[in-house]
Structure 1
Amino acid sequence: AEFPSTSFTSYRVDARKKRFPQCISHRGNKVSHPENTMAAFRSAVEVGTHALETDVHFTKDEVVVLSHDDSLERCYGRPEKILDSTWEEIKDVRTIREPHEPLPRLADLLEYLAQPGLEEIWLLLDIKLSNDADTIMRLLGSTIASVSPAARKKWEERVVLGIWAAKYLPLAMKYLPDFPVTHIGFSLKYARHFFTVPNVSFNMLLPMLVAPGGRAFIRDAKQKQKRQVYAWTVNEEDKMEWCIRRKLDGVITDDPRKFLDVCARFDEFRREPVFALRFKAYFEIMRI
C-alpha cells in the first residue's frame, strides 16, 4: 500500500497561463484575525485563498481542537494545557486578540468547508509532535469520518496530513490510508529520507530552501521525484517572488491577500532581487 498522489495540491495556472504556487493561509488570515479561529479561516476564504493550514491538538475527552500551542496561554490568556482539559471546560474561552473569538474544533472547520461553493478549498493539517502519535491519528480519522463531505468531493481529495516524523507514516496508513501526506520540516537531510516513500510531498521552512543545498533539494524533489514542494512561513514580498520563480507548489503565508497580490503583479522578466538570508532566519524554527 502507498499514499495517494494528488493533483489538488499542485501549482496552479492562472488566466495568463502562468504557473503560480497555491496560496495556503497559515492558521487562517493571521494578519487580520486571531489565528486558528473560524473568523480567520472565513476571512482567508473571502480573500481568495486556495487552502487553509491549521494545527491540531486533542482534549482530555478526545475532542480535536485547532491550536498551534498545546496550552491556551498565548492566544486565550488561560494557563490550562489542552490535553488536561475537557472540551466542556474550554469551549467558552475567547482569544485575547480582538474580536474575541472562540476555540474551534476540527469538526467545526470541516462543517464550514463542506458548504456548497467551498469545495475547491483544501486543508493542510499540521499534526504537532507534542500529541500522542497513535491517539491523534486515530482521532483525526474518526473526526473526519464524522463530518459529511461536500456533495462532489470526498475529504480524501481535500485534506492533507502534515507529519514531522517518519513514525507517523504507519499510523497514517492505519487510520487514514486514503489521505495524502506531506512532510513538514526544516532539515533537508531528514526530508530526503521521505524520497523512499512514494507520493509524500514536502513542506519546508523557507530559509532551508534558500540556504546552500536548498535548490538541489527542490530540483530533486520536483523533477526527479515528481513531488510537490511548499514553503513556510512566507510573509515578505521578495521571498514570495523567490517562491514563484522556483516554481514551488504552495506558499504558506500569514497574509494571503498580499501573496495573491504579488502573484497578480508578478513579472517573470523583471530582474530577480537578491535578499540576504539573515542569520536570525535560521532561528525561525524556534517559533514552530
Structure 2
Amino acid sequence: MSSPSVFAAKEVAELNSDEVKSMKLPRSIGHRGYPVKYPENSLESLLAAIDVGADGIETDVHLSADGYVVVSHDLHTKRVFGSTTEPIRNRNYIGDLEHLRTVQEPHSKMVLLKEVLDQFVTNPKFEGKWLCIDVKADNDVAVIEGIAKVMMEVMADPLFWKERVVLGIWLVKFLPLCHKHVPEIPLIHIGVDLSYAANFIHEPSVIGISMVMVSIYTQRGYDLITQLHDLGKFIYVWTVNPPELMTLCIALGVDAVLTDEPVKFEQCRVDALAKAGESRDALGEAERAISFGTKTRLYGLSTGIKVLAPLLRRRFE
C-alpha cells in the first residue's frame, strides 16, 4: 500500500475535473528539499521532497573561490556544517568544502549544483519535476555564468533546462547577466519588499514573483496576486509551513507554495479538493481560520520588513 503522502500526491494529480482546474491548486515546492526530515539542501533532503510528492524543489547556490557552484543557503558554513564564518566565496571546494559534513544527521556532504541537475537527467523520479535555483543577494554576479556553465556541462541543451529550471534572483543587478548567460531560462524575482518587486513585474524575461508569506498577507500582497495573474504571470509564496496559511494560499489561488513541510501541504491540497464546491467564500473561511497568534506574528514581521528590507538591500546592490 502506498504511504499516505504518496497517495495524496497521486490523488491530486489524477483529479482533472473542470471544478478542480478552476481551483488553481498551487504547485508544491520543497523549500531546500524536505528540511524537517533531512539536513537542508542536502541531496537526501532534495530527493525526499520528490519522494513525498512535491512538484519541484528549491535550492540555494553560492560560488566557491575555485569556481564551483555549491548548494548552500548561507553565505558561510557555520550554521549548517559547524565550520567557520569565512564566506564560501573565499574558500575552495576542492580540498576544503568538499570535506564538510552537516551537523544534522545523517551528516551529509555539501552538494554541488551539478549533482542536483544530474538528477533531472538520470533519475526517473524527476520526470516532470522542476527546480527553482535561488540566487541570493549576497552572491557575486559571476555566479550566473557559473550556473550556465554547469547546466551546459550536465546537458548541453538550453531547451531541456527551460522546461525544468526557474532561476530566482533578488536584485536588478543580476538581470543583465541572466540575459547574457541564460537567456532561455525563465526568471522569477524572489523578495520580501512589494515596492521593490515593481522593478521586475513588467520585465519580459521575468515570469513571476516569489514573495514571502508575511508580505502576501496584506492588501498590497493580495493586489499583487491579481496584478500578476492579469499580466499572465505567476505568484509563488514562501516559506509556508502552518496548515492554516497553506489553506489561505490555496484559497488565494497562488501558483506555487514553497514549504519545509511538503507532506502537510499535500494533505492541505487533498482537503481542498474534498471541499471543492462546498463554500462560496473559501477565501473568507481561510482568513477566519488563521489564529490570533499567527496574525500577530505576520503583522509584526510585515512591519519589520518595511523598515529593514531597503536597508539590507543597499548592502548588496
Q: What TM-score do you get using the length of structure 2 for normalisation? A: 0.81
Aligned to 2:301: 281
Higher helix share: 2
Unaligned runs of 5+ in 1: 1-11
Percent of pairs identical after alignment? 32
Q: Given residue 245 of structure 2, which amino acid in structure 1 is its aligned partner?
A: K
Aligned to 2:91: 85
Is 1:122 paired with 2:130? yes
Q: Given residue 256 of structure 1, which amino acid in structure 2 is its aligned partner?
A: P
Alpha-carbon shift at residue 212 of structure 1 (Å): 2.7
Distance in 2 separating the partners of 1:171 and 1:149 = 19
Alpha-carbon shift at residue 109 of structure 1 (Å): 0.5
Q: Secondary structure at the match of 1:87?
A: coil
Residue-by-residue CA offset, 1:200-223 (whole Å, 9 max, x unaligned): 211001111111311111111112
Q: Secondary structure at the match of 2:99?
A: coil
Aligned to 1:240: 246
Alpha-carbon shift at residue 59 of structure 1 (Å): 0.7
Match of 1:215 among 222, 234, 242: 222
Q: Given residue 258 of structure 2, which amino acid in structure 1 is its aligned partner?
A: I
Is 1:21 paired with 2:35? no
Aligned to 1:113: 120
Unaligned runs of 5+ in 2: 1-11, 310-317
Verify the 8 A CA contact 1:14 1:20 in the aligned structure 2.
no
Q: Given residue 160 of structure 1, which amino acid in structure 2 is its aligned partner?
A: V
Q: Given residue 33 of structure 1, which amino acid in structure 2 is its aligned partner?
A: Y
Match of 1:57 among 37, 59, 62: 62
1:1-288 equivalent positions in 2, closer than 5 A: 15-17=15-17, 18=20, 19-79=24-84, 80-88=86-94, 89-117=96-124, 118-133=126-141, 135-148=142-155, 154-200=160-206, 201-223=208-230, 225-266=231-272, 267-268=275-276, 269=279, 271-274=285-288, 275=290, 276-278=295-297, 279-282=299-302, 283=304
Verify the 8 A CA contact 1:28 1:35 in the aligned structure 2.
yes
Verify the 8 A CA contact 1:34 1:40 in the aligned structure 2.
yes
Verify the 8 A CA contact 1:22 1:249 in the aligned structure 2.
yes
Alpha-carbon shift at residue 116 of structure 1 (Å): 4.5
Q: Secondary structure at the match of 1:43?
A: helix
Distance in 2 separating the partners of 1:256 and 1:68 = 19
Distance in 2 separating the partners of 1:30 and 1:149 = 31
Further displaced range: 160-169 or 194-203: 194-203
Distance in 2 separating the partners of 1:177 and 1:101 = 33
Which has the greater radius of gyration? 2
Residue-by-residue CA offset, 1:79-133 (whole Å, 9 max, x unaligned): 0421121112110211001111110000011112212522211000110111111
Q: Given residue 301 of structure 2, which amino acid in structure 1 is its aligned partner?
A: A
Shift of the 249–14 alpha-carbon distance from structure 1 to 2, 3 Å rule, reads farther
Verify the 8 A CA contact 2:65 2:91 in the aligned structure 1.
yes
Verify the 8 A CA contact 1:66 1:105 in the aligned structure 2.
yes
Distance in 2 separating the partners of 1:14 and 1:192 = 37
Verify the 8 A CA contact 2:201 2:209 in the aligned structure 1.
no
Shift of the 264–113 alpha-carbon distance from structure 1 to 2, 3 Å rule, reads same
Distance in 2 separating the partners of 1:277 and 1:212 = 16
Q: Given residue 214 of structure 2, which amino acid in structure 1 is its aligned partner?
A: P
Verify the 8 A CA contact 1:114 1:149 in the aligned structure 2.
no
Shift of the 210–220 alpha-carbon distance from structure 1 to 2, 3 Å rule, reads same
Structure 1 ranges of 4+ moved more than 6 A = none
Alpha-carbon shift at residue 70 of structure 1 (Å): 1.1
Alpha-carbon shift at residue 13 of structure 1 (Å): 7.1
Q: Secondary structure at the match of 2:248?
A: helix
Alpha-carbon shift at residue 16 of structure 1 (Å): 4.9
Q: Secondary structure at the match of 1:191?
A: helix
Q: What TM-score do you get using the length of structure 1 for normalisation? A: 0.89
Q: Secondary structure at the match of 2:286?
A: coil
Distance in 1 separating the partners of 2:101 and 2:217 = 38
